[in-house]
Chain A
């Protein structure tokens, strides 16, 4: 058992629900006590995400628990199939059904022939995995169970984005920046995102994309499957900073067999490169350039690499750090904190033009770092 004073690390089950809730027309049935469903619906709102997926609960009582009764789930599946008429029904157990050993596969076999919707079972809780593994699981399931079940599409001028989800604190802005860059540099529009602001139909047509961009490792396995089956190349990188973004664009160009146009955003790039150099000089002059990065709720390796390239040193000692990269709770109270992850607390995140990735992301990030260093300095 682990003791937490702050937020515990979210579980794989939570991650699976977060990922599925980025799909507008997903229908989800949870087999378990209603309270967790209710909590999860409320929890989603704090991500500042627009949620359209429909999540239902069966609820459970003592009789169901004692006798392992699956009747509620069977009835719920039949009803959702009839009323909502979804293409797929995602069925998810709970910690209780995992412990009492409910055979969800047995339920699927029992009702699948009686309904039009396809049932997709999600894995049981094993009380060991975290939310990121749950998100990865959903990404690969969506590819295996939906994308791969559809016939291969002719290639269109679109790309797929993998690994970005509503659980990403800055998802809206980063999504806009990636879309902007892909359009301006390669004239490619978005095909689908696994799993953000998307639909079952868009996922089913994933094969028409010319390339897959993986920005979180939760999307990597799914990209590998798509590469094998559809010969879709992928680029696995989270672009922070000017050099990284250029490299990322070059990799995409290489995979697409296209030269990266060099006359786009040149002025902007020059200005950002200048700002980046100025910030490097400032960091060099700092007495302590130690920074702390909270790794609890996201993969921070790409960000850490970029911050190191600016001249910061990573430390585990939060108290002595000149900057703290962390969640919304600390960011709200500390003048030396920059928010990079949830949870957020009484804060809005609707404005979509403050990316951290890409060209404009670099510009914004440099500004945030500079301003926060000043604030921290004044605080001292």
Chain B
């Protein structure tokens, strides 16, 4: 199954990255999913999805689940006539109706595969309506045949938020955090450091904003990007409102993190140098300590909230060796990391992600020590592969993120070795007690492990379809996995 063509040394561009099988399961999410996921963070943003019954039905279903039934999602369902003759007049009427009856502050129109395929110029229709409606009109194109995954939809959705912004007077000591998609930004290292220096985090986009507050985002002096999907928004704000940005990204490279902090200090005129140096040294020491235990261990990179190559390089820093890296999309920025890997004489297989089923056929022959990402824990434990799930680490920003990843490795190493031991020696009670005290693991995952005797098929599917860009716990609820837990 694994061909030499799939090796890193043979990968030049995105089309060289192949899926391990032609029949994929479950396959990646589409950009419509990414768009809805991102837009649904903003409670008062109304959506109009244009597409088939299928896209609009599942889109509504997803938004409703995420927003606990309080979503504002309309569906414009295409009929045969619209596909043949276009839907301009219907669409105009629908938008006017929504504007007149519901008076949304902003309406994001999302076009899907079929609308784009038939060449309907929805952007022009919206443009022509701008004078006739009170609502602000935004557009996101989400045809899946032009991209590999949902990331494209997330980027476009965030970028559209720039159109809701207005030029405001600058506050020198205020920043925005762009791309943070979790609760609890106040507890992050970045937030605390800034707060200590008297810097106001004015806005966290998209999780702590409303349509009205987004208009004020331009009063901040700096944008700090903590997730790559927010980069297009940062660039748009730089171009339209001259707000500079620092790209923190999701990286785990200590020097890059230190440089980001330095850039932020320079922009804001604050002195973070000493605190940063302390944190740098603390994390570097920790990395050195865990290196011994991980030296020479092999891994498959499955799916984490981090960039696949950056994360794999970080693991290499800890002495580990990648056997397979599953990649969502090859980006120009990956070139440098790939070159560094090859220079270190590492040549893993690079495969398209979101196709877990065929991997199960090669675990036995490849025999990796670790699997990073979502998979059925039982499938992995059959082959004595330790699973590391790093979802909760994405809630961290800065050096604490590196520390969180190391904690995740150490903790889950413990669980899986215990699961292996359980088969031989330990009692159920010992295993349960150990799991109960795990702090890093999402609550739902913990419950599942505590309850399971054997994992049901549907739970396996739920695990396979979990997304790295949403908190695991809420995603599992969304997948009805809580039901499976009790049943098991």
Contact A35 B144, beta carbon cutoff 8 Å: yes
| Docked pose: A45 CA to B58 CA in angstroms | 12
Contact with B along A164-184 (1 / 0, CB 8 A): 000000000000000000000
Contact A35 B75, beta carbon cutoff 8 Å: no
| Docked pose: A10 CA to B56 CA in angstroms | 9
| Docked pose: A80 CA to B357 CA in angstroms | 12
Contact A36 B79, beta carbon cutoff 8 Å: no
Contact B458 A36, beta carbon cutoff 8 Å: no
Contact A65 B56, beta carbon cutoff 8 Å: no
Contact A79 B23, beta carbon cutoff 8 Å: yes
| Docked pose: A100 CA to B117 CA in angstroms | 9
Contact with B along A13-48 (1 / 0, CB 8 A): 110000000000000010001111111111101101
Question: Does A343 interact with chain B (Cβ within 8 Å)?
Answer: yes
| Min CB–CB distance B472 → chain A (angstroms) | 15
Contact with B along A42-64 (1 / 0, CB 8 A): 11011010111011111111101
| Min CB–CB distance B430 → chain A (angstroms) | 30
Binds B, one of A1-9, A155-163, A208-216, A271-279: A1-9
| Docked pose: A123 CA to B113 CA in angstroms | 20
| Min CB–CB distance A154 → chain B (angstroms) | 34
Contact with A along B84-126 (1 / 0, CB 8 A): 0001001100100110000000000000011001100000000
| Min CB–CB distance A11 → chain B (angstroms) | 4
Contact A4 B354, beta carbon cutoff 8 Å: no
Residues in A345-373 with C-beta less than 8 Å from chain B: 345-346, 348, 350
If A5-B74, A57-B24 touch, does A34 touch B144 (CB 8 Å cutoff)?
A: yes
Contact with A along B353-365 (1 / 0, CB 8 A): 0100010010000
If A39-B58, A45-B461 touch, does A3 touch B22 (CB 8 Å cutoff)?
A: no
Binds A, one of B318-326, B441-449, B475-483: B475-483
Residues in A120-139 with C-beta less than 8 Å from chain B: 125-128, 130
Question: Does A258 interact with chain B (Cβ within 8 Å)?
Answer: no
Contact B113 A96, beta carbon cutoff 8 Å: yes
| Min CB–CB distance A342 → chain B (angstroms) | 10
- Chain A count of residues within 8 A CB distance of the other chain: 66
Contact A36 B91, beta carbon cutoff 8 Å: no
Question: Does B251 interact with chain A (Cβ within 8 Å)?
Answer: no
Contact B64 A57, beta carbon cutoff 8 Å: no
Interface of B is mostly: helix
Contact B97 A3, beta carbon cutoff 8 Å: yes
Contact A99 B117, beta carbon cutoff 8 Å: yes
Q: Of residues A9, A46, A332, which shows the largest number of chain B Cβ atoms within 10 Å of its Cβ?
A: A46
Contacts of A343 in B (CB 8 A): 61, 64
Contact B80 A128, beta carbon cutoff 8 Å: yes
Contacts of A6 in B (CB 8 A): 60
| Min CB–CB distance B3 → chain A (angstroms) | 14
If A35-B31, A60-B145 touch, does A3 touch B75 (CB 8 Å cutoff)?
A: yes
Question: Does B279 interact with chain A (Cβ within 8 Å)?
Answer: no
Question: Does B65 interact with chain A (Cβ within 8 Å)?
Answer: yes
- Among candidates B23, B58, B83, B87, residue contacting A29 with C-beta atoms closer than 8 Å: B23
Contact with A along B444-488 (1 / 0, CB 8 A): 000000000000111001100100000000000111110100110
Which residue of chain A is the closest to B150 with respect to CB atoms?
A: A35
Question: Does A75 interact with chain B (Cβ within 8 Å)?
Answer: yes
Which residue of chain B is the closest to A343 with respect to CB atoms?
A: B61
If A36-B54, A57-B25 touch, does A2 touch B61 (CB 8 Å cutoff)?
A: no
Question: Does A110 interact with chain B (Cβ within 8 Å)?
Answer: no
| Min CB–CB distance A5 → chain B (angstroms) | 6
- Among candidates A5, A38, A46, residue contacting B61 with C-beta atoms closer than 8 Å: A46
Residues of A bordering B, CB below 8 Å: 1-11, 13-14, 29, 33-43, 45-46, 48, 50-52, 54-62, 64-65, 72, 75-76, 78-80, 83, 95-96, 99-100, 125-128, 130, 329, 332-333, 343, 345-346, 348, 350
9 tightest Cβ-Cβ pairs between the two chains A and B: A35-B30, A34-B27, A56-B23, A33-B144, A75-B22, A11-B53, A39-B58, A1-B90, A76-B23
